[in-house]
Amino acid sequence: MVANYQDKPLPTEDAVSSDWIIEQLSAELIRQEPVLGHDFIAIGRMSRITKGPEGMRTVFFGLRCDCDTSAIVSFEVAVDKARSQVMEALPQTGQRFFSQLRTFRQMPCSAHNSFRIGSLNQT
């Protein structure tokens, strides 16, 4: 007899880890904009060590301009969210990332230089 594990997702496989979110979000970004999507660089280390609000997991992606200025965009997920719930939030998150990318790109480099490492996050 072979037990059917397919129907019973293991808790570890179902866990929403930072790496998993980064993987899914990267794929979503490339799905939405096959060329621009590659401009988002996942900052895995920062995403894993971050201590945000209790029960939240935050992943970070960096954007870079030719003038060497970086901007960081982030996506916050409650740790008790199921993978399917995170997946549902991805399309909207992708759109937000691209609008932040456009804001960053439309800014002249003189403005970039004035904040150097800035954050485009809307809080």
**Which positions touch Zn ion (CB under 5 A)?**
65, 67, 69, 109, 112
Residue with smaller CB distance to Zn ion, 67 or 82: 67
Residue with smaller CB distance to Zn ion, 57 or 112: 112
Nearest-approach distance from CB 101 to Zn ion, in angstroms: 13
Nearest-approach distance from CB 117 to Zn ion, in angstroms: 12
Nearest-approach distance from CB 61 to Zn ion, in angstroms: 17
Angstrom distance (rounded) from CA 71 to CA 119: 5
Instruction: Tell me the one-letter amino acid at 88.
Output: E
Question: What are the b/e assignments for 73-94, b being 16+ CB within 10 Å?
Answer: bbbebeeebeeeebeebbeebb
Residue with smaller CB distance to Zn ion, 65 or 89: 65
